Structure 1
Amino acid sequence: MNLARLKGPGVFAAVAVLALVVAPLLLEPFRLGLLAKYLCFAIVALGIGLAWGQGGMLALGQGVFFGLGGYAMAMHLKLVDAQGDLPDFMVWSGVEQLPALWKPFANPVFALAMVVIGPMLIATVLGLLVFRQRVRGAYFAILTQALAAAFVILLVGQQGLTGGTNGLTNFFDLFGQDLAADSTQRGLYFAVAIATGLLYLGARQLVNSRFGRLLVAVRDGEDRVRFLGYDPARVKTVTFAISAGMAGLAGALFVPVVGIISPALLGVVPSLELVVAVAVGGRFALAGAILGAVVMGYAKTSFSEQFADGWLYLQGALFILVMTLAPKGILGLAASARDALARRRTARSGDPEPPPADAPGRRVMEEVA
């Protein structure tokens, strides 16, 4: 089989086999858990790729929605472990009665629903308030960044409610299964991998739909789309809400995989790291967002062990290099190389030169009009 000729479904099937068959067979439990962690971040990156790459909304605060989903799942797990008593950190903090906010999360259905509904609801309200005022570009990015910083301050200040700086940890039971067991962790890996694949397929279907073409048109010419009779604020709000829902689901999966959720995982720096990952992989392609998250997650694990103090500088330098030299990321470079090879072959054969890889995007505005 010529791997270079694999396209679309073939590539997806090959990646699925690697993730669901090869990786579980070759990786030890610890490394498989790390891959599950990277895939959790890949789900967040997929949402960023949808909002930023397709819709032009640079969201620097996805850690907020990741945290909302993560804390919703963590609250349920802590209540299950407490078995009717107060969670351990509340006892240490001097709390005498379970807060009213926590009580509904004892129900697994409510907790799982809030994992997605909570982030999407907040994103919808924020989107309606912001996009109706035509806030976009750098102003929107700064606003979401400030939201992430404020969210972290709120979590740290509520020691008895959220665990403060330490966050929530020490989970032992997941729907009747021992979280420490290798079989449970392996099952979690499959759940995360399958969720990543399904969300990618759903996002790809959305991008290829009429709504997706309208989203790209809003990115490339919002004012013109408005003059054509569409409401860009509504399109951007729906996309932003979907992106937030993905981040919330990723946070909920992250909690049992890693065993902790804390403000340190949700602030400005983690949110920026995810944006860097999307840029490295290729923000204009959904697969690039996933690839970038996995690559950057692996790189952070590998390099930070040897250069703990210098990893952030290396990451910043990488982001600058990618945005200046390869703005379309890894997949963009691969597409450019493929186009160059195709032009060379057609030049030798005398056939008409094929259009570049991004040519279909140039017709989006005409299709919407």
Structure 2
Amino acid sequence: MMLQSSGTKTKLILSLVLLALMLLAPMLLSEFRLSLLGKFLAFAVLAMGLDLIWGYTGILSLGHGVYFGLGAYCMAMHLKLAASPDGLPDFMSWSGVEQLPWFWTPFQSAGAALLLAVLVPVIVAFVLGYLTFRNRIRGTFFSILSQALVIITVTLFVGQQGYTGGTNGLTNFDTFLGLKLGDPSVKLMLYYVTIAAVGLTLLLSLWLASSRLGKIPVAVRDAENRVRFIGYNPVAYKVFIYCVSAGLAGIAGILFVLQEGIISPAQMGIVPSIEMVLWVAIGGRATVIGAIIGTVITNAAKTTFSEAYPEFWPFLMGALFVVVTLFFPKGIVGTLQELADKWRAGRTRSTQVLGSKALAYSEPSKPQ
């Protein structure tokens, strides 16, 4: 109980420090750096969802870039339509498409686009999750299937040039709900919206992890057959958490497109999907707050290395991953929690020893 309490205190302290840093960032960073931080925090929403399924449920998804990309494309489709004076995106005209496809029509509404940006990833995750988990496909086999989903999706989006923009993706849009996305005040507003999304996702994730609903996926991770034997259906819980994670990835895609102004198939490929897993591993699995820290630190290091050492930065990033994996297997937050627990345990033992000595010293000697 004491260790659990200390872990909670560590997460609370880290959360407050992160919140303070995020709120102070606009006063400390330039407009360019602030936009980068906003993008990293959008990724953090996805990373927390990924931590729910990998850290707490034991499902290693190497295809979460698909759900991120689907959410981003749904948002970008509305932005592209809003930026098309004649109602037909420019790349469709270049590809010989003369009429807006039926599946683009709902995205003329901003509300529908926002809703579909969450629903579409959830529906895809439900179909894949139900079919695989019901057939007890897990571990490496599920990871391979998730990568197959990435390959299929990227190939589809690249091949359908006239409907998806092909390799170039969707870009050249600058307004949302009448607001100029390039305006500094709008960028600042989107940054604070992203902070709010990170905060709400953090609260949701911590609640799921600590509630009874969240304890069952942890039991499934550690002993799925035992959970099944005592009367729970692991499939339902795994599908639920997987869908929640996909929905959070869709929200991350929305925030990313609004701040970055582009989405392409390359951003939901295999390499980005694997990088997403590394964010969680570096921050610390099954910590939630570690997903935020790992995402921001990893992406900030990637940006710094690529700027300072354009020819060698991939090697530096690889070295960073190796060092963290070898020397901090529990990630940044997991290591901090372990050190805090050892320190508190040492203090408790010292207090008990001093108390025993003081008691022995104060006891009167028995008469002979």
Say whether 1:155 aligns with 2:169: no
State the distance in 1 between where 2:86 and 2:114 align: 19
Contact 2:49 2:245 in 1 (8 A): yes
Matched, 1:223 2:222: no
Equivalent position to 2:332, from 330, 333, 349? 330
Structure 1 residues 284-334: Cα deviation after superposition (integer angstroms, max 9, x where no partner): 210011110000110111112234454444434443443443221011111
2:18 maps to 1:15: yes
1:44–1:246 contact (8 Å) kept in structure 2:
yes
Q: Secondary structure at the match of 2:47?
A: helix
Partner of 2:62: 60
Q: Percent identity?
A: 49
Is the partner of 1:54 in helix, strand or coil?
coil
Q: Once the 2 structures are TM-superposed, how far is the Cα of residue 106 of structure 1 from its aligned partner?
A: 0.2
SS of corresponding position for 2:135: coil
2:285 to 265, 283, 286: 283
Matched-pair contact (CA < 8 Å) for 1:282–1:288: yes
Structure-to-structure mapping, 1:256-267, within 5 angstroms: 256-267=258-269
Letter matched to residue 222 of structure 1: E
The yes-or-no answer on 1:347 pairing with 2:318 is no
Q: Secondary structure of 1:261's match? A: coil
- Secondary structure of the 2:247 match is helix
Deviation for aligned residue 1:85: 2.6
Question: 2:271 and 2:255 mapped to 1: Cα distance?
Answer: 21
Q: Which amino acid aligns with 1:319?
A: F
Q: Which amino acid aligns with 2:308?
A: Q
Does the 8 A contact of 1:279 with 1:319 survive in 2?
Answer: no
Task: Work out the CA distance in 1 between the residues paired with 2:12 and 2:146.
Answer: 35
Instruction: Report the Cα distance in structure 2 between the residues aligned to 1:241 and 1:178, rounded to whole angstroms.
Output: 33
Alpha-carbon distance in 2 for matches of 1:46, 1:146:
23
> Structure 1 residues 131, 303: CA separation in 2 closer, same or farther (over 3 Å shift)?
same
Moved more, 331-340 or 132-141: 331-340
Residue pair 1:73, 1:115 contacting (<8 A) in 2 also: yes
Residue by residue, what CA displacement relative to the aligned partner does 1:194-227 show, whole Å, maximum 9, x if unpaired? 1011111011111111011101000000011011
Out of 57, 72, 75, which is 1:73 matched to?
75
Partner of 2:244: 242
Matches within 5 A, 1:1-369: 7-20=10-23, 22-350=24-352
**Residues 1:351 and 1:134: Cα distance change in structure 2 (over 3 Å):** farther
**Count of residue pairs the alignment pairs up:** 348
* Amino acid paired to 1:301: T
Higher mean C-alpha deviation, range 93-102 or range 159-168: 93-102
**Structure 1 residues 180 and 340, CA, compared in 2 at 3 Å: closer, same or farther?**
same
Rounded to whole Å, the distance in 2 between the matches of 1:339 and 1:6 is: 11
Provide the C-alpha distance between the structure 2 equivalents of 1:215 and 1:147, rounded to a whole number of angstroms.
24
SS of aligned partner of 1:154: helix
Please state how far the C-alpha of 1:19 moved relative to its aligned partner.
1.2
Following superposition, the deviation at residue 50 of structure 1 comes to: 0.5
* Higher mean displacement: 98-107 or 336-345: 336-345
- Between 1:332-341 and 1:206-215, the stretch displaced more is 332-341
How far 1:28 sits from its partner (Å)? 1.5
Displacement of 1:96 in angstroms is: 1.2
TM-score by structure 1 length?
0.90
User: Is the 8 Å Cα contact of residues 120 and 245 (structure 1) preserved in structure 2?
Assistant: yes
Q: 1:94, CA displacement in angstroms?
A: 2.2
Number of the residue aligned with 1:362: none
Contact 1:42 1:293 in 2 (8 A): yes
| Alignment CA distance shift 1:314-1:134 (3 Å) | farther
Match of 2:4 in 1: none
User: CA offset at residue 346 of structure 1?
Assistant: 2.7
Matched residues in 2 for 1:146 and 1:351: separation? Answer: 58
Structure ID, larger Rg: 2
CA separation of 1:26/1:322 partners in 2, compared to 1, >3 Å: closer, same or farther?
closer
Contact 2:305 2:316 in 1 (8 A): no
Q: Is the 8 A contact 2:301 2:317 kept in 1?
A: no
Question: Which deviates further from its counterpart, 93-102 or 276-285?
Answer: 93-102
Alpha-carbon separation, structure 2, partners of 1:13 and 1:340: 22
Task: Give the aligned residue type for 1:180.
Answer: G
Alignment RMSD (CA, Å): 1.9
**Equivalent residues of 1:61, 1:148 under 8 A apart:** yes
Gaps of 5+ in 1: 353-369
Q: Which structure 2 segments of 5+ residues have no match?
A: 1-6, 355-368
Query: Which residue of 2 is the match for residue 363 of structure 1?
Result: none
